[in-house]
Amino acid sequence: MELLKDLRAMYMLVLWDLSQMKRRTVFVVMRVAWFALQVTVFGLAMNAIVRFRGVVAQGIDYYHFYLFGVYASMLFSISVSKAYDVAEEFEEGMIEYLLSLPMKRKILSLGRSIGGGLSAFLFTLPMYAVVVLLLGVYDPVAVLLSLLSALVFAVGVTGFVISVVLSLKSSDYTDIFFGVLDALIIRLSTVFYPAVVVAKIAPYYYAALVNPVSHFVDLLRTFFFFEEFKHLSVSSPYLMASYILGFAAGVSSAAIYIVEKRVEGGGWK
């Protein structure tokens, strides 16, 4: 009975996050428009430039590489934007209301992480469909594995975001921290540059190696074009998949610990 009660509470929290999707419709429409511009105008221009300079090895289609990079960066940014929603909920008193409800705090943390990750995943589904359409590859196994990886990655990023926001407990610090983080994490990854290229700059390379965005985007590439991209990835597909799973489990555990041990009502700046 206790398990059913916990599952029902988690289900209600997930529904709560999904019901908030309509509040972000304008934000997502702007993101989708920017995505369409990137994969058409900028993507084709970048592909022409890279081929001309020969930066990427022969036989590699940089446009395919670029499409996955843009999608991964969009999923990461939309997942990170959950920070601003949580900060707003704090200011509205919603977080304190949730903390006062008769539910375990670990359920509250897990429910919000899964709900936030699921909503970010659903928001980016139109972008994912555009990528698959432009690739012209409809391998059901690759599609299923990539979607599952995207969902796990989004839940992990959302769990990390919730942990940090509840620790900072400040709207100003939240805006600054996640604005900088979003910019740095995307750029210090293999979203737009292959690992073999960034390896020429040691600090950049080691930052990309520990960056979860690098493992996620390279895993997507190898799902669809294994032979083409296997030598450009930060690691083997099994290690990259393990890294994403470990990342999601680790940050979710951290979120549970923070909500259970460190979050108290009040004190929001």
Residue-wise pLDDT tens digits, 145-186: 999 999 999 999 998 888 888 888 777 888 888 888 888 888
3-class secondary-structure state, position 180? helix
Rounded Cα–Cα distance for residues 227 and 234 (Å) = 15
Q: What is the pTM of this model?
A: 0.88
Looking at residue 68, its amino acid is F
Rg (C-alpha) for the chain, rounded Å, is 19
Are 169 and 267 a contacting pair, CB within 8 Å? yes
State which of 22-26, 70-74, 253-257 shows the largest mean pLDDT: 70-74
Task: Say what the pLDDT of residue 142 is.
Answer: 93
Is there a contact between 142 and 226 (Cβ–Cβ < 8 Å)? no
Average pLDDT over residues 38-61: 68
Distance of CA 2 to the CA centre of its chain: 32
Please say if the pLDDT value at position 53 is more than 70.
no
21 pLDDT band (50/70/90 cuts)?
confident
The pLDDT-based confidence of 52 (bands split at 50, 70, 90) is: very low
For residue 48, pLDDT over 80 is answered with no
pLDDT of residue 262: 66
| 145 vs 133: CA distance, rounded Å | 17
